[in-house]
Amino acid sequence: MSKVSKLGEAITESLDDYFTHLDGGQPHAIYGMVLNCVEKPMLAYILNKVGGNQSKAAEMLGINRNTLRKKMALYKLD
């Protein structure tokens, strides 16, 4: 099984758990919730993998270095 499939399965299981524990409440901001849960550890992992080199990290992630810096500040990864 590929890593992408495992990640997809983990997200599906987490969403199942989220909906199970709503207890009648209305779901909201699910897109942002999932992105926040996945994005921070992904950024931290990639930054660690490249020894903190933001240019290399941005290239690996396929994003602009300024975008990476904004996300690092958002998640307090700097």
**CATH for 46:** 1.10.10.60
CA distance 58 to 27: 33
Residue 30: pLDDT band (50, 70, 90) is very high
Residue 33: pLDDT band (50, 70, 90) is very high
Please tell me the number of Cα atoms within 13 Å of 54 on its side-chain side.
Answer: 12
Count of domains observed in the chain: 1
Identify the CA nearest to 69 among candidates 13, 57, 60.
57
Looking at the predicted structure, is the pLDDT value of residue 73 above 70? yes
Position 5 scores a pLDDT of 86
Tell me the residue range of the domain where 49 lies.
3-74
pTM listed for this prediction: 0.80
